[in-house]
Amino acid sequence: MIDSGRVTRWWRRRDVVVRDAPFGLLLAVASVLPALHGKGTQVGDLPARPLDAWALVVIALECLPLAVRRRWPALCLALVSLGFAADQLLAYHVLASNAMPVALISAGAHLERHRRLAVVLLSLAYVPLAIALGRLGATERVEGYVVFYLALGLAWGIGAWLRSTRAAEAERRRHVAEATRAAERTRIARELHDVVTHHVTAMVVQAEAARYLTAAPDRLDATLSAVTDTGRRAIADLRHMLDLLKADHDADAGPPSTGDLRALVEQTRRAGQPVEFTEEGRPAEPAGSAEFVTYRVVQEALTNALKHAHGSPTAVRVRHGEKEISVEVSTEGAGRRAATPGGGGRGLAGLRERVEALGGDFSAGRQADGGFAVRARVPAGSPS
Domain membership flag for residue 148: no
Q: Which domain holds residue 248?
A: 176-379
Measured between its terminal Cα atoms, the distance across the chain in Å is 39
Residue 181 sits in a domain whose CATH number is 3.30.565.10
Closest CA to 329 of 359, 367, 383: 367
Domain membership flag for residue 118: yes
120/234 same-domain check: no
135/180 same-domain check: no
Domain membership flag for residue 102: yes
Residues of the chain predicted below pLDDT 70? 1-2, 193-195, 198-199, 205-206, 208-216, 218-223, 226, 230, 232-234, 236-259, 286-287, 334-347, 381-384
Domain membership flag for residue 129: yes
209/286 same-domain check: yes
Q: Tell me the three-class secondary structure of the chain, residue by residue.
A: CCCHHHHHHHHHCCCHHHHHHHHHHHHHHHHCCHHHCCCCCCCCCCCCCCCCHHHHHHHHHHHHHHHHCCCCHHHHHHHHHHHHHHHHHHCCCCHHHHHHHHHHHHHHHHCCCCHHHHHHHHHHHHHHHHHHHHHCCCCCCHHHHHHHHHHHHHHHHHHHHHHHHHHHHHHHHHHHHHHHHHHHHHHHHHHHHHHHHHHHHHHHHHHHHHCCCCCCHHHHHHHHHHHHHHHHHHHHHHHHHHHHCCCCCCCCCCCCCHHHHHHHHHHHHHCCCCEEEEEECCCCCCCCHHHHHHHHHHHHHHHHHHHHCCCCCEEEEEEECCCEEEEEEEECCCCCCCCCCCCCCHHHHHHHHHHHHCCCEEEEEECCCCCEEEEEEEECCCCC
Tell me the C-alpha distance between 337 and 84, whole Å: 88
For 148-187, letters b (16+ CB in 10 Å) and e give: bbeebeebbeebbeebeeeeeeeeeeeeeeeeeeeeeeee
Cis peptide before 286 (omega within 30 of 0): yes
Task: Check if the beta carbon of residue 111 is closer than 8 Å to that of residue 73.
Answer: yes
Closest CA to 44 of 3, 6, 90, 13: 90
133/181 same-domain check: no
Residue 361's φ and ψ, nearest 5 degrees, are -120, 145
The radius of gyration of the chain's CA atoms, rounded to the nearest angstrom, is: 38
13/75 same-domain check: yes
Closest CA to 212 of 338, 302, 333: 338
Predicted TM-score (pTM) of the model is: 0.56
Q: Would you state the pLDDT for residue 352?
A: 86
Task: Check if the beta carbon of residue 58 is closer than 8 Å to that of residue 87.
Answer: yes
Q: Would you state the pLDDT for residue 246?
A: 59
Task: Check if the beta carbon of residue 362 is closer than 8 Å to that of residue 352.
Answer: yes
In the chain, how many domains are there?
A: 2
Contacts of 172 (CB under 8 A, 6+ apart): none
Give the type of residue at 37. H
58/203 same-domain check: no
Residue 327's φ and ψ, nearest 5 degrees, are -135, 140
Q: Would you state the pLDDT for residue 242?
A: 64
280/132 same-domain check: no
Domain stop point among 82, 112, 140: 140
206/257 same-domain check: yes
Tell me the C-alpha distance between 310 and 158, whole Å: 71
Contacts of 352 (CB under 8 A, 6+ apart): 362, 364
Neighbours of 2 (CB within 10 A): 6
244/319 same-domain check: yes
Domain stop point among 140, 157, 188: 140
189/291 same-domain check: yes
130/219 same-domain check: no
Closest CA to 31 of 105, 101, 90, 87: 87
Domain stop point among 121, 140, 159: 140
